[in-house]
Amino acid sequence: MFVVNVEGAIHRKDKWLLILRSKKEEHAGGSLSLVGGKCEVEGVSSDILERTLKREILEEVGTEVADLKYVNSSSFVTESGINVIDIVFLCHYKSGEPYAKSREEVDDVIWMTTTEILTHTKLPAFLKENIRIADKMLQDSMYLKY
List the domain boundaries for the chain. Answer: 3-141
Whole-angstrom distance, CA of residue 60 vs CA of residue 65: 13
For the segment 103-111, the average pLDDT, to the nearest whole number, is 90
Among 18-22, 46-50, 74-78, 94-98, the minimum mean pLDDT is found in 18-22
Which residues neighbour 10 within 8 Å (Cβ) at sequence distance 6 or greater?
16, 17, 34, 35, 57, 63, 65, 91, 93, 98
pLDDT for res 144: 46
pLDDT for res 146: 42
CATH of domain 3-141: 3.90.79.10
pLDDT(98) > 60: yes
